């Protein structure tokens, strides 16, 4: 990724990659959902519902096709009648209200039959190279029955209830990239529409939202007959798809340092490009002001019962007022207004507010920002290969660059290594436990790069700085993964989290939020220190309404006049 | 039954770790197995056979030492450690021949030679008790079946790919080998306990509302 200008440097990795900041990231123009809707609108995708065979109990299947310029993708959805006591968002659940796959092409009747025997089983079934994703969703108990009851009676659902939940169903896992037999990423990575990360998964969720809207309407119509009414399109549009996310996402960002770097670096490069602008035109300033007002609505609608998030939201609301005051002063008229704003926010706002600013200043500048989409995938296959010729001295420098803060820590202090990440034999659920209280240390996953870097750094001390690292690795294969990561950091300066991921106080929800913010999620609602709920595609136009005009800013709620 | 290459890689990584290799070597095993399966060679069989020999419990006696220009070990060479070494020292291959003595499961050495070929941007020939294999890093040409153990292997810069093997996007394993890998992989999973089920991933507020 080329630095566009040298007038304003990208923010330093040591500043950006702290967990608390990563846990305050917000969606932006480069979020994967927005990349998808922009592309579909720009390329004139068409959408159709080719099957909807669902009975009065809500059992059956449906197929939604999305046709782009070169190929068609189909969401195949199965709806089930799930007893309430079986409903759980955990990985260890074995049945769901609805299950899905994104099919590469248009499925035949035989495909549907095959999928009907496998998709409802999720991890216990098998899918093929024709399928790009595997996912499931559960109904929101708070909203589902209410919406059907109201529509069946001829009334619209209660807006307060809609606002307090935000979705009718929440997905509890969306698998892609070769999982459970699905097509590998390689199959689609070179397609224009799939080049950016997670586009298949985002498309699957986008179509799932449409299915859920149609399903609730279908059931209301069957129950209410002539008395039933159609869900107000304005309410429907506000409804997103919820998602429950657990610990699986945290290992992902540690295990894919180059990919994660590319996301962060694209956003940081975008921020630096916008900060380097000498003036903002009145239309650019107006758009920023307009979206700031709309962001305020989004913040006000953001609910959480988690004490930490409640406090963060309280601060963010104060930040929103301060931001409005800043804009109304004379700073936006001066030179380098966005750089001034970022500097001012660093001294004035909470990290939630600072990162909101970082995302929001990108909005008027699609022409400077959107091209960075193409840098966000991980195409650097050779990053895995260790350069054995590099000297131990150079490797130590790389380790010091990413983990200087960790080298003098006492890694034997129980506070510093209280936790261990492991995979349970129960459906391979990723978990985090107490190293000194549970028998898990033998199963520890390599998710403590800082500790491992400190150990490797010490082991390297007895080697001469000019010796090739290959000599070190020949006698220390146990440090191979750390040396690989250190070398990756040359290309991926934002690939390492600059905090202790196994400390007694680590909050995995910060890692989950970092990843989900790049998906484009909003309304992060931690449910404990290790799982959270979010909303996806809330405000997005449904397929039949998608146009170039509404494909981008849907994430910001409309200000009502 | 067929598997995605991602599944091959994930299974191989867990299996190698379960067999006692370090994470870094397990990552190498995973990429190597994937590379083989992508080119229609039975990576899962080679890895299953290697892991069954339990080199990891005393790895030092299977690690390569350079003695008089030849790489050897007290016992059979581990192809993962030797391969990693070969890839790390790719620069030594330029214009030279590396000789390896007594290599277990030599098929697993090919992906590492391929990695070296990519680094050097040239073709390498891998001779395995007289059976020639050529790789340019991305593709491979195999003249005959590679034996389960090689007494003498030579790796040198020369060769040309005239008949590269077909690339595959799916892998159809021998189920016995696959089962062996899964048994090793299972060793990396923590047994389920009530406490870990409750606290390890969830707890907190209700997930059914």
A380 pLDDT higher than 90: no
pLDDT (average), residues A50-67 = 96
Q: In the A/B pair of chains, how many CB contacts fall below 8 A?
A: 165
CA distance A275 to A9: 9
Spatial neighbors of A12 by CB under 8 A, at least 6 apart, are: none
More confident residue, A14 or A561: A14
Spatial neighbors of B34 by CB under 8 A, at least 6 apart, are: B5, B8, B9, B12, B43
Do the Cβ atoms of B40 and B5 come closer than 8 Å? no
Q: Which residue among A184, A425, A530 places its CB closest to the CB of B5? A: A184
CB contact under 8 A, B63 and A474: yes
Calculate the average pLDDT of chain B: 94
Range in A1-10, A293-302, A512-521, B152-161 with the lowest mean pLDDT? A1-10
CA distance A556 to A117: 40
- Two tokens, residue A157: 């659902």
Tell me, what's the pLDDT at B157? Answer: 92
A140 pLDDT higher than 90: yes
Find the residue in B nearest to A137 (Cα): B208
Tell me, what's the pLDDT at A6? Answer: 52
Q: Taking the CB of residue A462, how many other CB atoms lie within 10 A of it? A: 8
Kindly list the residues from chain B whose CB atom is less than 8 angstroms away from the CB atom of residue A468.
88
Percent of chain A with pLDDT over 90: 92
- Number of alpha carbons in the 13 Å side-chain half-sphere of residue A263: 26
More confident residue, A377 or B201: A377
- Paired with A432 in beta bridges are A421
Q: Which residue among B169, B197, B201 places its CB closest to the CB of A531? A: B201
CA distance A122 to A95: 8
Tell me, what's the pLDDT at A561? Answer: 62
Nearest Cα of chain A lies from the Cα of B6 at a distance, in angstroms, of 5
Q: Taking the CB of residue A552, how many other CB atoms lie within 10 A of it? A: 17
Do the Cβ atoms of A46 and A551 come closer than 8 Å? no
- Number of alpha carbons in the 13 Å side-chain half-sphere of residue A200: 33
pLDDT (average), residues A159-166 = 94
Nearest Cα of chain B lies from the Cα of A478 at a distance, in angstroms, of 5
pLDDT (average), residues A392-396 = 98
Task: Tell me the domain boundaries of chain B.
Answer: 3-164+175-184
Kindly list the residues from chain B whose CB atom is less than 8 angstroms away from the CB atom of residue A180.
7
CA distance A216 to A148: 6
Do the Cβ atoms of A486 and A399 come closer than 8 Å? yes
SS3 (DSSP) at A266:
helix
B150 pLDDT higher than 80: yes
Tell me, what's the pLDDT at A2? Answer: 61
CB contact under 8 A, B27 and A384: yes
- Two tokens, residue A393: 């001295």
Tell me, what's the pLDDT at B192? Answer: 84
CA distance A214 to A211: 5
Compute φ and ψ for A382, nearest 5 degrees. -80, -10
Residue A330: pLDDT band by 50, 70, 90 thresholds?
confident
CB contact under 8 A, A478 and B22: yes
CB contact under 8 A, B4 and A384: no
CA distance A235 to A232: 5
A33 pLDDT higher than 80: yes
Is the pTM higher than 0.90? The answer reads yes
A377 pLDDT higher than 80: yes
Give the angle B178-B181-B184 at the CA atoms, nearest 5°: 150
Do the Cβ atoms of A319 and A346 come closer than 8 Å? no
pLDDT (average), residues A451-473 = 97
| Intra-chain end-to-end CA distance of chain A, in Å | 42
Tell me, what's the pLDDT at A542? Answer: 98
CB contact under 8 A, B195 and A438: yes
Q: Which H/E stretch holds residue B29? A: helix B23-38
Spatial neighbors of A343 by CB under 8 A, at least 6 apart, are: none
- Number of alpha carbons in the 13 Å side-chain half-sphere of residue A560: 3
CB contact under 8 A, A431 and B200: yes
Residue with tokens 């209660």: A158
Give the angle B115-B121-B123 at the CA atoms, nearest 5°: 80
Judge whether A325 is closer than 8 Å to chain B, CB to CB. Answer: no
Q: Which residue among A178, A181, A388 places its CB closest to the CB of B88? A: A388
Compute φ and ψ for A484, nearest 5 degrees. -60, -45
Judge whether A508 is closer than 8 Å to chain B, CB to CB. Answer: no
Give the angle A433-A437-A439 at the CA atoms, nearest 5°: 75
Tell me, what's the pLDDT at A379? Answer: 84
A5 pLDDT higher than 70: no
Tell me, what's the pLDDT at A382? Answer: 87
Strands A167-175 and A240-245: parallel
Do the Cβ atoms of A247 and A173 come closer than 8 Å? no
Q: Which of residues 451-490 of A touch B (CB under 8 A)?
A: 468-470, 473-474, 477-484
CB contact under 8 A, B189 and A92: no
Nearest in space to B124 (alpha carbons), one of B92, B166, B84: B92
A4 pLDDT higher than 90: no
CA distance A339 to B140: 53
Contacts 24+ apart (CB under 8 A), A340-347: A342/A271, A342/A275, A345/A319
Query: How many Å is the maximal CA-CA distance in chain A?
Result: 84
CA distance A304 to A385: 44
Judge whether A346 is closer than 8 Å to chain B, CB to CB. Answer: no
Q: Which residue among A305, A430, A446 places its CB closest to the CB of B205? A: A305
Tell me, what's the pLDDT at A429? Answer: 84
CB contact under 8 A, A527 and B204: yes
Calculate the average pLDDT of chain A: 95
Residue with tokens 């059976």: B131
Q: Which residue among B24, B91, B201 places its CB closest to the CB of A431? A: B201
Q: Which residue among B81, B200, B208 places its CB closest to the CB of A87? A: B208
Spatial neighbors of A417 by CB under 8 A, at least 6 apart, are: A411, A435, A448, A451, A502, A503
How do residues B15-46 score in pLDDT, each as one tens digit? Answer: 999 999 999 999 999 999 999 999 999 999 99
Find the residue in B nearest to A387 (Cα): B88
A145 pLDDT higher than 80: yes
Tell me, what's the pLDDT at B93? Answer: 86
Nearest in space to B48 (alpha carbons), one of B36, B66, B63, B64: B36
Nearest Cα of chain B lies from the Cα of A390 at a distance, in angstroms, of 10
pLDDT (average), residues A279-305 = 95
How do residues A74-89 score in pLDDT, each as one tens digit? Answer: 999 999 999 888 998 8
More confident residue, A39 or B205: A39
Residue A1: pLDDT band by 50, 70, 90 thresholds?
low
Tell me, what's the pLDDT at B158? Answer: 84
Nearest in space to B7 (alpha carbons), one of B41, B43, B46, B53: B43
Kindly list the residues from chain B whose CB atom is less than 8 angstroms away from the CB atom of residue A469.
88
Range in A109-113, B105-109, B166-170, B200-204 with the lowest mean pLDDT? B200-204
């Amino acid at each position: 990724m080329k630095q566009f200008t040298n007038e304003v440097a990208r923010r330093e990795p040591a500043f950006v990659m702290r967990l608390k900041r990563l846990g305050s990231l917000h969606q932006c123009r480069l979020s994967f959902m927005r990349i998808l809707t922009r592309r579909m609108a720009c390329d004139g995708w068409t959408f159709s519902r080719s099957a909807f065979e669902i009975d009065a109990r809500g059992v059956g299947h449906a197929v939604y096709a999305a046709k782009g310029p070169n190929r068609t993708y189909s969401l195949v959805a199965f709806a089930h009648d799930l007893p309430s006591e079986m409903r759980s968002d955990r990985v260890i659940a074995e049945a769901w209200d609805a299950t899905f796959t994104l099919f590469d092409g248009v499925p035949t009747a035989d495909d549907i039959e095959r999928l009907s025997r496998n998709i409802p089983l999720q991890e216990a079934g098998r899918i093929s190279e024709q399928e790009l994703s595997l996912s499931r969703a559960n109904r929101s108990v708070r909203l589902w029955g209410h919406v059907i009851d109201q529509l069946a009676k001829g009334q619209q659902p209660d807006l307060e209830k809609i606002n307090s939940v935000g979705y009718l169903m929440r997905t509890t896992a969306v698998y892609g990239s070769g999982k459970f037999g699905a097509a590998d990423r390689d199959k689609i990575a070179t397609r224009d529409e799939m080049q950016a990360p997670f586009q298949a998964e985002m498309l699957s969720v986008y179509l799932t939202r449409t299915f859920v809207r149609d399903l609730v309407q279908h059931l209301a119509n069957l129950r209410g007959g002539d008395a039933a009414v159609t869900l107000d399109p304005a309410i429907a549009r506000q409804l997103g798809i919820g998602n429950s996310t657990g610990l699986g996402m945290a290992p992902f960002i540690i295990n894919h340092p180059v990919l994660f770097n590319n996301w962060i670096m694209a956003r940081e490069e975008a921020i630096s490009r916008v900060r380097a602008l000498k003036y903002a035109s009145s239309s650019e300033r107006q758009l920023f002001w307009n979206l700031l007002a709309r962001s305020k609505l989004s913040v006000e609608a953001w609910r959480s019962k988690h004490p930490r998030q409640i406090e963060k939201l309280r601060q963010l609301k104060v930040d929103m007022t301060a931001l409005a005051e800043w804009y109304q002063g004379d700073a936006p008229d001066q030179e380098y207004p966005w750089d001034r704003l970022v500097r001012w926010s660093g001294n004035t706002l909470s990290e939630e507010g600072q990162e909101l600013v970082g995302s929001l200043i990108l909005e008027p500048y699609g022409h400077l920002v959107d091209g960075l989409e193409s840098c966000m995938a991980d195409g650097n296959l050779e990053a895995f290969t260790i350069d054995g010729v590099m000297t131990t001295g150079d490797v130590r420098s790389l380790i010091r660059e990413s983990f200087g803060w960790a080298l003098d820590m006492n890694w034997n202090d129980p506070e510093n290594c209280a936790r261990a990440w492991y995979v349970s034999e129960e459906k391979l659920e990723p978990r985090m436990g107490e190293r000194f209280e549970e028998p898990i240390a033998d199963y520890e996953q390599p998710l403590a790069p800082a500790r491992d870097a400190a150990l490797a750094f010490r082991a390297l001390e007895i080697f001469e700085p000019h010796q090739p690292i290959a000599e070190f690795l020949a006698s220390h294969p146990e440090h191979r993964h750390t040396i690989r990561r250190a070398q990756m950091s040359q290309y991926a300066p934002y690939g390492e989290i600059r905090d202790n991921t196994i400390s007694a106080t680590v909050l995995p929800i910060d890692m989950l939020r970092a990843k989900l913010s790049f998906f484009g999620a909003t309304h992060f609602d931690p449910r404990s220190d290790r799982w959270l709920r979010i909303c996806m595609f809330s405000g997005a136009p449904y397929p039949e309404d998608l146009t170039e005009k509404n494909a981008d800013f849907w994430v910001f709620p409309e200000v009502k006049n | 039954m067929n598997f995605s290459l991602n599944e091959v890689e994930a299974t191989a990584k867990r299996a190698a770790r379960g067999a006692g290799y370090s994470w870094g070597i397990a990552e190498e095993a995973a990429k190597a197995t994937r590379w083989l399966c992508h080119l229609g060679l039975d990576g899962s069989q080679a890895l299953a056979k290697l892991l069954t020999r339990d080199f990891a419990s005393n790895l030092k006696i299977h690690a390569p030492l350079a003695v008089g220009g030849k790489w050897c070990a007290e016992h059979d060479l581990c192809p993962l450690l030797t391969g990693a070494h070969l890839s790390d020292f790719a620069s030594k291959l330029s214009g030279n021949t590396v000789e390896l003595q007594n290599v277990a499961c030599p098929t697993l050495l090919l992906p590492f030679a391929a990695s070296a070929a990519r680094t050097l941007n040239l073709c390498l020939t891998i001779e395995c008790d007289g059976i020639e294999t050529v790789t340019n890093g991305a593709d491979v040409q195999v003249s005959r079946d590679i034996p389960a153990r090689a007494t003498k292997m030579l790796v040198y810069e020369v060769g040309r790919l005239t008949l590269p093997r077909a690339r595959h996007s799916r892998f159809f394993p021998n189920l016995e080998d696959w089962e062996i890998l899964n048994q090793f992989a299972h060793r990396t999973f923590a047994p389920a306990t009530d406490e870990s089920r409750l606290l390890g991933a969830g707890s907190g507020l209700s997930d059914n509302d």
